[in-house]
């Protein structure tokens, strides 16, 4: 089994922004930095590297961790989940893009 986590700007975008394999990966729900817990962060460790990801809320983090663990174990299904990427929702990304467009004028 070779599951992939693919990142997209939005679910309608046919071209992924990036991604990585979940084969032999481990998901850690608890992340600490300098001895302080980071409640919205979770870590996906692959044989090649660690991916530190941030959810927009604790509930979203729990959802991601549960879905990723299920897929790594082979109990999951294909997931199409629109949520935050590194803690930003689609609305936040849209607002940032709008503000960047205004600042270039």
CATH number of the domain residue 18 falls in: 2.30.29
Q: Is 8 exposed, middle or buried (0-12, 13-18, 19+ CB in 10 A)?
A: middle
- The answer to whether residue 80 scores a pLDDT higher than 70 is no
pLDDT at residue 8 in the model: 64
Supply the Cα-derived Rg of the chain in whole angstroms: 15
Number of domains observed in the structure of the chain: 1
Q: Report residue 87's pLDDT band, with 50, 70 and 90 as the boundaries.
A: very low
pLDDT for residue 69 is more than 80: yes
pLDDT digits (tens, 9 = 90+) for 17-43: 777 778 888 999 999 988 999 999 999
98 is in which domain, residue-wise? 4-103
Cβ pair 31, 50 in contact under 8 A: no
Q: Please tell me the distance from the alpha carbon of residue 68 to that of residue 22, in angstroms, as a whole number.
A: 8
């Amino acid at each position: 089994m070779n599951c992939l986590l693919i990142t997209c700007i939005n679910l309608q975008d046919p071209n992924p922004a990036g991604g990585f394999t979940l084969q032999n990966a481990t998901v850690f729900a608890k992340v600490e930095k300098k001895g302080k817990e980071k409640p919205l962060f979770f870590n996906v460790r692959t044989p090649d590297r660690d991916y530190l990801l941030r959810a927009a809320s604790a509930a979203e983090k729990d959802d991601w961790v549960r879905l990723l663990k299920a897929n790594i174990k082979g109990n999951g299904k294909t997931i199409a989940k629109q949520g935050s990427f590194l803690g930003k929702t689609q609305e936040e990304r849209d607002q940032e893009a709008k503000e960047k467009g205004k600042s270039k004028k």
